[in-house]
Amino acid sequence: MVDLEKLKNVAKDTVSREDVKYLIGWRQGTYGFRVSPLFMTEPEDADKLIFSPLCVNNLATYLTLAEKLPVPRGAEPDTRKVALMVKGCDSRAVVQQLIEKGIERESVLVIGCPCQGVLDLEKVEEKFPGIHSPVDVQWGDDKFIINLPDGPQEVPREELLAKKCLNCRYPNPVMSDVMLWEEVEAWGNGEYADVKELEEKDSQARWSFWQDKFESCIRCYACRNACPMCYCEDCVLDRLNPQWIYRSNNISENTVFHLARAFHLVGRCIECGECERVCPMGLPLMTLNRKLVKEVRDKYDFEPGLDPESKPFQSSYRPDDQEDFIL
């Protein structure tokens, strides 16, 4: 059960610490079902914090974007911690960033928020169109309680639950410095039904499926920009010398773009679904990513973002790793 009073008290205590520069959480948005990130620097800002089924965004993205070195001339780097509210999938991103040395453990304070599943914003806005004033949503027993301007509505959770939550095996933060409330049961079963359905098709059918999707890509890079694991300062997708991927928006370059991004996430994707959520063309990017997640899990018994003491997947080796697929 979400305890907002406890959240606010923890937030006030956190930002009052001398070793914390700010806390990143969620706040009510300015319209409809949208919420916004909140960079909280003062204790009184705690009243703005929320945690609800609307808190879809993975805030771990900001850990590698908040402050970039070098600092301005004459300034000293601020080495205080950043406090971060995380759901289960978000916490896996933090762990993976720690594994890869993208961030340092002493630079982050993790506030764990066990999650009962977030809304699919497209589904809820389709069901309740034309809502402009901010809407509050709460969890109920196997349902969402949506407090609309004309009164509350109760909707079965399965009807509006985000797809990533249907597959989620880790709704509870895998790492935290503070856990705000009791753990919840996982919804996902790890069966990868979406991937297996596509695997059962022949190669031509699979290519036709992806050709149709990639042709509609507008190369806006929203998927990369929202991904908490795409934080390289020198991204291969942006290089001009050598230029690996051209800016042309056609099926060839779009295919290279998506395959390059997917393979850069092998053993790193923590299945938060942010890439697919922000895609304006509705590409099923998580089907592609989860195919590689499944291969890594099946062949190497490896899942990223679970153990901060582990090694990155592609720098690890075990004598019993399968080799029968190597030509």
* Nearest CA-CA partner of 63 in 220, 178, 229: 229
**Is there a contact between 174 and 91 (Cβ–Cβ < 8 Å)?**
yes
Report d(CA 65, CA 24) in Å as an integer.
Answer: 12
* CB-based contacts of 37-41 (< 8 A; 24+ apart in sequence): 37/62, 40/11, 40/15, 41/15
Q: In the predicted model, what is the mean pLDDT of residues 100-123? A: 95
Report d(CA 323, CA 327) in Å as an integer.
Answer: 9
pLDDT digits (tens, 9 = 90+) for 32-69: 999 999 999 999 999 999 999 999 999 999 998 866 66
Question: Does the pLDDT value for residue 323 go beyond 80?
Answer: no
Q: What percent of the chain has pLDDT over 70?
A: 97
pLDDT digits (tens, 9 = 90+) for 175-196: 999 999 999 988 777 788 889 9
**Coil/strand/helix, residue 110:** strand
Burial code (b: 16+ CB inside 10 Å, e: under 16) for 15-33 equals beeeebbbbbbbbbeeebb
Report d(CA 271, CA 249) in Å as an integer.
Answer: 27
83 forms bridges with which residues in the sheet? 23, 109
What is the pLDDT at residue 75? 83
For 194-253, strand residue ranges (E) read none
What is the pLDDT at residue 239? 81
* Nearest CA-CA partner of 167 in 269, 302, 272, 276: 272
What is the pLDDT at residue 60? 96
Report d(CA 248, CA 276) in Å as an integer.
Answer: 22
**Is there a contact between 306 and 270 (Cβ–Cβ < 8 Å)?**
no
User: Which two tokens mark 222?
Assistant: 């929203």
What is the pLDDT at residue 67? 64
Q: What is the pTM of this model?
A: 0.91
The total of other beta-carbon atoms located within 10 Å of residue 276's CB is: 20
**Is there a contact between 290 and 167 (Cβ–Cβ < 8 Å)?**
yes
pLDDT digits (tens, 9 = 90+) for 199-235: 999 999 999 999 999 999 999 999 999 999 999 888 8
What is the pLDDT at residue 69? 66
85 forms bridges with which residues in the sheet? 111
